[in-house]
Amino acid sequence: MATPSNQPLSRGYQLQNYTIAKLLSAGGFSIVYLAHDENDYPVAIKEYLPNSLALRCEGERVEATSDENLAMFRHGLKCFFEEGKTLARIQHPNIVRVLNFFRANDTVYMVMEYERGRTLQKEIQLKHEREGVDEKLIRHVFFHLLNGLREVHLNKLLHLDIKPANIYIRKDGSPVLLDFGSARQTLTQEHAKLTPMYTPGFAAPEQYNKKNELGPWTDIYGVGASMFACLAGTAPQPADARSRADKLVDLRVAYGDRYSPELLDLIHQCLLLDPTARPQSVPQLQKALIDAASPPARKPGLIRTVQRAWRKLTIKPDRGIE
């Protein structure tokens, strides 16, 4: 039986000092709105509303779907609220800024800076219509993104849903990490009846099995998978399938004519199934990422090769063409 979808708050709804302008996105765990504060400043508001636990069919109040689900809903609400408190303390240019968080309508709302630009996912789609994402852009985006992720880990928080759709590229080219999945992961780990909320292809193998320990290396797998998507235009083979039959392509063979071996080897290391074999911390990954490396030059075409050979035969110093 399909899980029913929740009704979003209506346009023009007054949520404390914020006015809902429109729906931005809706998933199985939350709904995100564009809203404006009393000074007409735009913000993004995320509403905690897991479809499998609670519903709002009409009006604004949220209700658990059963007495059994009420305890799980409240536990998730607490995790979401604590995550908002932690994120509000992190002020970093590469992490989405949480401006406010509060309880209303029997649930919790997280108010975030509204960013203008486009997602890395959109960038990948546009680039792969031509030649793929340039290595210089990959290094720039992920180096700065890792600055923010390092700050997250220092605050004892994991992202757990790093993917191109959650990496936003501002109009000035700087990246910002959106939509943390820590509360979702905590909720699904502790309550086996819930459908796990992760993204196949970008989720590390330990996210499929609650017996394995999560850590910075889990987010590093997501970083590697996101860089892989920049090369391939799609996510790598999902980790659970790889655990049974690993069909991940040899990156040097597939992309060695367009990207440096240093970058390809680093992506491979991030995507290792064994968590202890990956880079164990963001600083370790950053150090490898900033190592000087240039993409290999494309092989010259046949006409250009012939032209160069002809010049060598016909041009001599100070004497011109004979």
DSSP 22-86: EEEEE-SSEEEEEEE-TT--EEEEEEE--TTTEE--SSS--EESSHHHHHHHHHHHHHHHHHHHH
DSSP 231-282: HHSSPPPPHHHHHHS-----HHHHHTTTS-HHHHHHHHHHT-SSGGGS--SH
CA distances (Å), 317 to each of 41, 190, 289, 313, 314, in order? 68, 77, 44, 12, 10
Query: In the structure encoding, which two tokens stand for residue 52, read together?
Result: 């499998």
CA–CA gap between residue 23 and residue 236 (Å, rounded): 30
Sign, CA torsion 22/25/26/31: negative
Reported as type and span, the H/E element at residue 138 is helix 135-154
CA–CA gap between residue 320 and residue 151 (Å, rounded): 62
- Nearest one of 1, 54, 41, 48 to 26, comparing CA atoms: 48
- Is residue 177 within 8 Å of residue 167, measured between CB atoms? yes
Instruction: Check residue 301 and give its pLDDT.
Output: 44
Instruction: Check residue 270 and give its pLDDT.
Output: 97
Domains and CATH numbers, the chain: 24-113 (3.30.200.20), 117-289 (1.10.510.10)
Query: In the structure encoding, which two tokens stand for residue 25, read together?
Result: 């996105």
Q: What tens-digit pLDDT sequence spans the chain (322 residues)?
A: 445 567 889 999 999 999 999 998 887 778 899 999 999 999 999 998 887 788 876 677 787 778 888 888 888 888 888 878 888 888 999 998 999 989 999 899 999 999 888 999 999 988 876 677 899 999 999 999 999 999 988 888 888 889 999 999 998 999 999 877 655 555 445 554 444 556 889 999 998 876 568 889 999 999 999 999 999 999 999 999 999 999 999 999 999 988 999 999 999 999 999 999 999 999 999 988 886 444 444 444 444 444 454 444 444 444 333 3
CA distances (Å), 53 to each of 50, 71, 104, 192, in order? 6, 9, 17, 13
Query: In the structure encoding, which two tokens stand for residue 254, read together?
Result: 């597939």
Reported as type and span, the H/E element at residue 99 is strand 98-104
pTM: 0.79
293 burial class (0-12, 13-18, 19+ CB within 10 angstroms)? Answer: middle
